[in-house]
Amino acid sequence: MWRLLAGLAICQMVTVPLPAQVICPVLSPYAERVELAVARGLDHLVSIQQEDGTFPGNRGSATGVVSLAGMAFLAAGHTPGHGPYGEAINRCLDYILSQQNDSGYIYAGRSNTGDRGMYSHHISTLFMTELSGMLDPRREERVREAAGRAIRVIVASQEVSKRSGHEGGWRYGPSANDSDLSVSGWAVMALRSARLNGARVPDRNIRRAVDYVLRMQHDNGGFGYQNPGQHRVSLTGLGILVLELSGYHGADEVARGKRYLNQHYRGIVSGNHWQFATYYGMQAGFQLGGDTWERIGAHVYEHFLPRQRDDGSWGDLYNTSMVLLSLTVPYRQLPIYQRDETVDE
């Protein structure tokens, strides 16, 4: 059930098979509609998934996009091997495992942004680490080994000699000598999830990643793609999330990012990269809590709930998976969706 914690306007989901009610004052009117939309979206994913775990369409075999679909099931509270979506999750995972090469790199098909493979590698690593502890013994052992090798690829890619100003981040390929905030955000998510599940990720690599993110913040609070001057709302949610997850809650950098996000949040649902803008906007809003969360949550629900198609999708596999992951942020079923419970105090 969704419940009110200590009289505060905090959304919390207990671990039950399906999500229940949103009781945040502003968001409670959307509760039933969100639940129905999520269920219809997941049913759509199951209906089009192929036996090998992939999906039809030009991005249906991209490891990153298959991983996003798998995480959509997890984000709604479902577990591998159990219930109506258990086998769908297992099929996603088995496909990801089959696409890892001897070096530990995971990439096949078109990634969510073309042939930029580190996107897919980071997202696939995140999917595997989020599954830790939920799998049958055979898959658990396979994931433990595969995730360890995948994490080493991420760490090694960060350690590549970079151009000045790009140190600490990641780019499209494992050996790239530059970085961008978009790819780096997924890398940080994967490393954080790995650490939460007991993997050994050196503190140095986390610190260097956070330093890179901080260098991408403009004086106006927004975060940029490869330099602060390229600030945009789609990347500001990402920057805020990384800082929140790295212990910066209440810091001036977060406060400035929050002001920028509050000024520009309406833009997260539109533009060329609305998928991750919405996803990171919802994540950042939920971490920040209060009026920011209620404002962003309501905006996203108002935009996407009426746009769900008759088949339960929001377009192709990537779009549908990202909308589902955005809608389910407050369900808190994924470890990466947790937040500091004092944010509204």
89-139 tens-digit pLDDT: 999 999 999 999 999 999 986 444 444 789 999 999 999 999 989 999 999
pTM over 0.85: yes
Q: Maximum distance among all alpha carbons in the chain? A: 52
What's the pLDDT score for residue 301? 97
Residue 296 CA to residue 286 CA, distance in Å, equals 9
Structural domains present in the chain:
58-166+176-202 (1.50.10.20)
Nearest to 235 by CA among 223, 218, 219: 223
Q: Are 292 and 323 in contact (CB under 8 A)?
A: no
Question: Tell me, what's the pLDDT at 20?
Answer: 40
> Percent of the chain beyond pLDDT 70?
89
- If residue 120 lies in a helix (H) or strand (E), which one and from where to where? helix 117-130
Average pLDDT, the chain: 89
Instruction: Give the pLDDT confidence score for residue 58 in this predicted structure.
Output: 83
pLDDT of residue 116: 75
- Is the pLDDT score of 300 beyond 90? yes
pLDDT tens, position by position, 177-221: 999 999 999 999 999 999 988 888 999 999 999 999 999 999 999
Read off the tokens for 324: 């589902």
Residue 24: its pLDDT value, please?
65
Q: Is the pLDDT of residue 330 over 50?
A: yes
Q: Which residue has the higher pLDDT, 71 or 28?
A: 71
DSSP for residue 142: H
Number of helices (H), then strands (E), belonging to the chain: the values are 12, 0
Residue type, 104: G
Rounded to whole angstroms, the Cα distance separating 175 from 239 reads: 23
Mean pLDDT value across residues 39-68: 96
pLDDT at 14 over 70: no
Angle at which helices 252-264 and 233-245 cross, to 10°: 150
Average pLDDT of the segment spanning 248-276: 96
DSSP of 26-50, one letter per residue?
Answer: TTGGGHHHHHHHHHHHHHHHHHH--
Banded pLDDT at 17 (limits 50, 70, 90): very low
Q: What is the pLDDT of residues 23-45, one digit of tens each?
A: 467 788 999 999 999 999 999 99
